[in-house]
Amino acid sequence: MLWINLREEEFKPMFERVHGVCAMAIGSIEKHGQHLPLGTDTLKGGKILELASEREEVCVFPPLFFGDLQGVQANRAGEGAHYGYVALSSELLLSLLREICDEIGRNGFTKILLFSSHGGNNAFLQNFARAVTSTKKSYEVFIFYNKLIMPKDILGVIHERGRDYFPNLTDEDVAVLEDYVAKGKFDGHAGFGETAMVMGTYPELVRLDRAEAESGMSTHIADPITEQGLFWGKAWYRNFPNAYSGHAPIGCSHAIGEAAVEIAVERTVKVLKLLKNDEVMNKIII
Protein backbone atom coordinates (compact mmCIF):
# COMPACT_ATOMS: atom_id res chain seq x y z
CA MET A 1 0.00 0.00 0.00
CA LEU A 2 1.19 3.48 -0.82
CA TRP A 3 1.71 5.90 2.06
CA ILE A 4 0.39 8.87 0.06
CA ASN A 5 -2.84 7.07 -0.88
CA LEU A 6 -3.79 6.32 2.74
CA ARG A 7 -6.11 8.36 4.90
CA GLU A 8 -4.92 9.34 8.39
CA GLU A 9 -7.26 6.97 10.21
CA GLU A 10 -5.97 4.01 8.19
CA PHE A 11 -2.46 4.13 9.66
CA LYS A 12 -3.01 2.69 13.13
CA PRO A 13 -4.90 -0.46 12.05
CA MET A 14 -2.33 -1.00 9.30
CA PHE A 15 0.69 -1.50 11.60
CA GLU A 16 -0.30 -5.00 12.67
CA ARG A 17 -0.82 -6.13 9.07
CA VAL A 18 2.54 -4.86 7.84
CA HIS A 19 4.40 -5.84 11.04
CA GLY A 20 5.90 -2.38 11.31
CA VAL A 21 7.59 -2.46 7.88
CA CYS A 22 7.85 0.62 5.69
CA ALA A 23 9.87 0.57 2.47
CA MET A 24 11.21 3.40 0.32
CA ALA A 25 12.74 3.18 -3.14
CA ILE A 26 15.90 5.24 -3.67
CA GLY A 27 17.41 5.92 -7.07
CA SER A 28 18.97 8.88 -8.81
CA ILE A 29 18.43 11.42 -11.57
CA GLU A 30 21.18 10.81 -14.09
CA LYS A 31 21.83 10.04 -17.72
CA HIS A 32 21.26 6.47 -18.89
CA GLY A 33 22.59 6.57 -22.42
CA GLN A 34 20.27 8.18 -24.95
CA HIS A 35 17.62 5.46 -24.85
CA LEU A 36 16.51 5.47 -21.19
CA PRO A 37 15.03 8.27 -19.06
CA LEU A 38 16.97 10.23 -16.44
CA GLY A 39 14.78 8.79 -13.70
CA THR A 40 15.45 5.17 -14.69
CA ASP A 41 16.83 4.06 -11.30
CA THR A 42 13.98 5.44 -9.25
CA LEU A 43 11.23 4.64 -11.72
CA LYS A 44 12.10 0.96 -12.12
CA GLY A 45 12.87 0.49 -8.42
CA GLY A 46 9.73 2.26 -7.30
CA LYS A 47 7.49 0.20 -9.56
CA ILE A 48 9.12 -3.12 -8.58
CA LEU A 49 8.72 -2.27 -4.90
CA GLU A 50 5.11 -1.25 -5.43
CA LEU A 51 4.31 -4.48 -7.28
CA ALA A 52 6.00 -6.55 -4.56
CA SER A 53 3.99 -4.75 -1.84
CA GLU A 54 0.80 -5.83 -3.60
CA ARG A 55 1.81 -9.47 -3.05
CA GLU A 56 3.35 -9.02 0.42
CA GLU A 57 1.71 -6.08 2.13
CA VAL A 58 3.97 -3.36 3.51
CA CYS A 59 3.65 0.41 3.52
CA VAL A 60 5.56 2.08 0.66
CA PHE A 61 6.86 5.60 1.26
CA PRO A 62 7.17 7.95 -1.75
CA PRO A 63 10.41 7.24 -3.66
CA LEU A 64 13.51 9.36 -3.24
CA PHE A 65 14.84 10.43 -6.63
CA PHE A 66 18.08 11.89 -5.28
CA GLY A 67 21.06 9.53 -5.12
CA ASP A 68 24.80 9.63 -4.54
CA LEU A 69 26.51 10.99 -7.67
CA GLN A 70 30.04 11.83 -6.53
CA GLY A 71 31.58 12.06 -9.97
CA VAL A 72 28.84 14.37 -11.19
CA GLN A 73 29.30 16.70 -8.23
CA ALA A 74 32.97 17.03 -9.12
CA ASN A 75 32.10 17.88 -12.73
CA ARG A 76 29.19 20.26 -12.17
CA ALA A 77 30.87 23.16 -13.90
CA GLY A 78 33.54 21.33 -15.85
CA GLU A 79 34.20 18.63 -18.36
CA GLY A 80 32.04 15.55 -18.62
CA ALA A 81 28.86 17.31 -17.48
CA HIS A 82 25.53 16.23 -19.00
CA TYR A 83 22.12 17.85 -18.96
CA GLY A 84 19.42 16.65 -16.60
CA TYR A 85 21.48 15.47 -13.64
CA VAL A 86 20.45 16.48 -10.12
CA ALA A 87 23.36 15.89 -7.74
CA LEU A 88 22.92 16.86 -4.10
CA SER A 89 25.83 16.98 -1.69
CA SER A 90 26.50 13.88 0.40
CA GLU A 91 25.99 15.96 3.53
CA LEU A 92 22.53 17.07 2.43
CA LEU A 93 21.58 13.56 1.33
CA LEU A 94 22.62 12.17 4.71
CA SER A 95 20.59 14.79 6.59
CA LEU A 96 17.59 14.32 4.30
CA LEU A 97 17.62 10.55 4.67
CA ARG A 98 18.03 10.76 8.45
CA GLU A 99 15.06 13.11 8.82
CA ILE A 100 12.88 11.05 6.50
CA CYS A 101 13.62 7.89 8.49
CA ASP A 102 12.98 9.73 11.75
CA GLU A 103 9.58 10.82 10.44
CA ILE A 104 8.72 7.30 9.28
CA GLY A 105 9.73 6.04 12.72
CA ARG A 106 7.75 8.77 14.47
CA ASN A 107 4.68 7.57 12.60
CA GLY A 108 5.02 4.16 14.22
CA PHE A 109 7.09 2.03 11.86
CA THR A 110 9.86 -0.02 13.44
CA LYS A 111 11.57 -1.53 10.36
CA ILE A 112 12.56 0.70 7.45
CA LEU A 113 13.73 -0.82 4.19
CA LEU A 114 15.76 1.41 1.88
CA PHE A 115 15.29 -0.21 -1.52
CA SER A 116 18.06 1.07 -3.79
CA SER A 117 18.13 0.74 -7.57
CA HIS A 118 21.24 2.87 -8.14
CA GLY A 119 24.58 1.11 -7.69
CA GLY A 120 26.25 4.36 -6.71
CA ASN A 121 24.08 4.47 -3.57
CA ASN A 122 25.45 1.27 -2.07
CA ALA A 123 28.42 2.64 -0.10
CA PHE A 124 26.50 5.74 0.98
CA LEU A 125 23.48 3.78 2.23
CA GLN A 126 25.59 1.20 4.06
CA ASN A 127 27.39 4.03 5.82
CA PHE A 128 24.02 5.54 6.73
CA ALA A 129 22.72 2.24 8.11
CA ARG A 130 25.82 1.89 10.28
CA ALA A 131 25.43 5.46 11.52
CA VAL A 132 21.84 4.74 12.59
CA THR A 133 23.06 2.02 14.93
CA SER A 134 25.25 4.53 16.81
CA THR A 135 22.22 6.39 18.18
CA LYS A 136 19.13 5.14 19.96
CA LYS A 137 16.25 4.95 17.50
CA SER A 138 12.74 3.53 17.64
CA TYR A 139 13.37 1.82 14.30
CA GLU A 140 15.91 -0.35 12.49
CA VAL A 141 17.20 0.38 8.98
CA PHE A 142 17.80 -2.30 6.35
CA ILE A 143 19.32 -1.85 2.89
CA PHE A 144 18.51 -3.91 -0.18
CA TYR A 145 20.08 -3.40 -3.59
CA ASN A 146 17.74 -4.14 -6.48
CA LYS A 147 20.30 -5.85 -8.72
CA LEU A 148 19.73 -5.95 -12.46
CA ILE A 149 18.22 -9.05 -14.00
CA MET A 150 20.52 -10.20 -16.79
CA PRO A 151 19.72 -12.44 -19.79
CA LYS A 152 21.41 -15.39 -18.05
CA ASP A 153 19.07 -14.91 -15.07
CA ILE A 154 15.96 -15.15 -17.25
CA LEU A 155 17.35 -18.19 -19.06
CA GLY A 156 18.13 -19.76 -15.68
CA VAL A 157 14.51 -19.44 -14.57
CA ILE A 158 13.32 -20.90 -17.90
CA HIS A 159 15.68 -23.86 -17.43
CA GLU A 160 14.46 -24.39 -13.86
CA ARG A 161 10.71 -23.77 -14.25
CA GLY A 162 10.04 -24.27 -17.92
CA ARG A 163 9.33 -22.03 -20.86
CA ASP A 164 5.67 -21.64 -19.90
CA TYR A 165 6.65 -19.68 -16.79
CA PHE A 166 7.03 -16.66 -19.06
CA PRO A 167 4.19 -17.25 -21.55
CA ASN A 168 4.69 -13.95 -23.37
CA LEU A 169 8.28 -14.72 -24.40
CA THR A 170 8.55 -15.59 -28.08
CA ASP A 171 11.11 -17.85 -29.74
CA GLU A 172 12.77 -14.68 -31.01
CA ASP A 173 13.01 -13.32 -27.45
CA VAL A 174 14.66 -16.50 -26.22
CA ALA A 175 17.05 -16.44 -29.16
CA VAL A 176 18.05 -12.86 -28.28
CA LEU A 177 18.77 -13.89 -24.68
CA GLU A 178 20.75 -16.96 -25.74
CA ASP A 179 22.76 -14.97 -28.26
CA TYR A 180 23.61 -12.36 -25.64
CA VAL A 181 24.91 -14.99 -23.24
CA ALA A 182 26.69 -17.08 -25.90
CA LYS A 183 28.64 -14.05 -27.13
CA GLY A 184 29.55 -13.00 -23.60
CA LYS A 185 28.31 -9.48 -24.14
CA PHE A 186 29.14 -6.84 -21.57
CA ASP A 187 26.30 -5.39 -19.51
CA GLY A 188 26.09 -2.59 -16.97
CA HIS A 189 24.62 0.89 -16.56
CA ALA A 190 21.79 1.39 -19.12
CA GLY A 191 22.73 -1.93 -20.72
CA PHE A 192 20.49 -4.89 -21.51
CA GLY A 193 19.51 -5.69 -17.91
CA GLU A 194 18.54 -2.14 -17.00
CA THR A 195 16.80 -1.56 -20.31
CA ALA A 196 14.76 -4.73 -19.72
CA MET A 197 13.62 -3.48 -16.33
CA VAL A 198 12.41 -0.18 -17.78
CA MET A 199 10.78 -2.05 -20.68
CA GLY A 200 8.89 -4.06 -18.07
CA THR A 201 7.80 -1.06 -15.99
CA TYR A 202 7.63 2.04 -18.20
CA PRO A 203 8.00 0.81 -21.81
CA GLU A 204 6.66 4.08 -23.18
CA LEU A 205 9.81 5.84 -21.92
CA VAL A 206 12.28 3.58 -23.76
CA ARG A 207 13.78 4.65 -27.10
CA LEU A 208 15.49 1.53 -28.42
CA ASP A 209 16.12 3.33 -31.69
CA ARG A 210 18.59 5.51 -29.75
CA ALA A 211 20.40 2.60 -28.08
CA GLU A 212 23.36 2.90 -30.45
CA ALA A 213 23.44 6.70 -30.55
CA GLU A 214 26.46 6.62 -28.22
CA SER A 215 28.96 3.97 -27.22
CA GLY A 216 28.63 2.01 -24.00
CA MET A 217 32.17 0.66 -24.20
CA SER A 218 34.87 1.65 -21.72
CA THR A 219 37.62 4.12 -22.59
CA HIS A 220 39.83 2.26 -20.05
CA ILE A 221 41.30 5.63 -19.04
CA ALA A 222 40.92 4.93 -15.32
CA ASP A 223 41.99 1.28 -15.51
CA PRO A 224 45.55 1.90 -14.23
CA ILE A 225 43.99 3.17 -10.99
CA THR A 226 41.18 0.64 -10.51
CA GLU A 227 43.37 -2.33 -11.46
CA GLN A 228 45.57 -1.53 -8.46
CA GLY A 229 42.57 -1.69 -6.14
CA LEU A 230 42.30 2.07 -5.73
CA PHE A 231 38.90 3.72 -5.42
CA TRP A 232 38.44 7.07 -7.15
CA GLY A 233 35.09 8.84 -7.28
CA LYS A 234 35.58 9.89 -10.90
CA ALA A 235 36.85 6.55 -12.21
CA TRP A 236 33.56 5.23 -13.60
CA TYR A 237 32.76 8.53 -15.28
CA ARG A 238 36.20 8.61 -16.91
CA ASN A 239 35.81 5.09 -18.27
CA PHE A 240 32.20 5.62 -19.36
CA PRO A 241 31.85 9.29 -20.33
CA ASN A 242 28.52 8.65 -22.07
CA ALA A 243 26.96 7.42 -18.80
CA TYR A 244 26.33 4.17 -20.62
CA SER A 245 28.01 0.85 -19.84
CA GLY A 246 27.48 -2.24 -21.96
CA HIS A 247 26.64 -3.49 -25.42
CA ALA A 248 23.55 -1.93 -26.98
CA PRO A 249 20.40 -3.83 -25.84
CA ILE A 250 19.36 -4.75 -29.37
CA GLY A 251 16.38 -7.09 -29.38
CA CYS A 252 15.23 -6.26 -25.86
CA SER A 253 11.43 -6.49 -25.90
CA HIS A 254 8.50 -5.75 -23.65
CA ALA A 255 8.08 -9.49 -23.01
CA ILE A 256 11.72 -9.78 -21.94
CA GLY A 257 11.17 -6.77 -19.70
CA GLU A 258 8.12 -8.37 -18.11
CA ALA A 259 10.14 -11.51 -17.37
CA ALA A 260 12.94 -9.47 -15.78
CA VAL A 261 10.50 -7.52 -13.64
CA GLU A 262 8.73 -10.69 -12.51
CA ILE A 263 12.03 -12.13 -11.27
CA ALA A 264 12.86 -8.87 -9.49
CA VAL A 265 9.41 -8.70 -7.86
CA GLU A 266 9.66 -12.30 -6.63
CA ARG A 267 13.05 -11.55 -5.10
CA THR A 268 11.68 -8.44 -3.40
CA VAL A 269 8.68 -10.32 -2.01
CA LYS A 270 11.08 -12.71 -0.24
CA VAL A 271 12.83 -9.74 1.38
CA LEU A 272 9.54 -8.21 2.54
CA LYS A 273 8.39 -11.53 3.99
CA LEU A 274 11.62 -11.86 5.95
CA LEU A 275 11.31 -8.37 7.42
CA LYS A 276 7.70 -9.06 8.42
CA ASN A 277 8.61 -12.36 10.10
CA ASP A 278 8.53 -11.31 13.76
CA GLU A 279 9.77 -14.68 15.00
CA VAL A 280 12.97 -14.27 13.00
CA MET A 281 13.42 -10.52 13.37
CA ASN A 282 12.85 -10.49 17.14
CA LYS A 283 15.79 -12.88 17.55
CA ILE A 284 18.02 -10.71 15.38
CA ILE A 285 17.13 -7.20 16.58
CA ILE A 286 18.52 -6.44 20.01
Q: Parse the chain into domains and list their residue ranges.
A: 3-147+265-284, 151-262
- Alpha helices, DSSP H only, in the chain? 11-18, 40-55, 70-74, 90-106, 122-132, 151-161, 171-182, 192-199, 223-226, 235-239, 254-276, 278-284
Residue closest to 67 by CA, chosen among 105, 94, 102: 94
- Across 22-53, b (16+ Cβ under 10 Å) vs e yields bbbbbbbbbbbbbbbbbbbbbbbbbbbbbbbb
State the Cα–Cα distance between residues 69 and 73, nearest whole angstrom.
6
Please classify residue 204 by burial: count the beta carbons closer than 10 Å to its beta carbon, then call 0-12 exposed, 13-18 middle and 19+ buried. Answer: exposed
Q: What is the pLDDT of residue 70?
A: 63
Cα–Cα distances in Å, from 232 out to 34, 76, 226, 239, 243?
A: 25, 17, 8, 12, 16
pLDDT in tens, 96-155: 999 999 999 999 999 999 999 999 899 899 999 999 988 889 999 999 999 999 999 999
How far apart are alpha carbons 66 and 30 in whole angstroms?
9
- Which pLDDT score, from 0 to 100, does residue 77 have? 44
Mean pLDDT of 72-92: 70
Fold annotation for 3-147+265-284:
Rossmann fold (3.40.50)
Q: What percent of the chain lies above the pLDDT cut of 70?
A: 95
pLDDT in tens, 230-262: 999 889 989 999 999 999 999 999 999 999 999
pTM of the predicted model over 0.85: yes
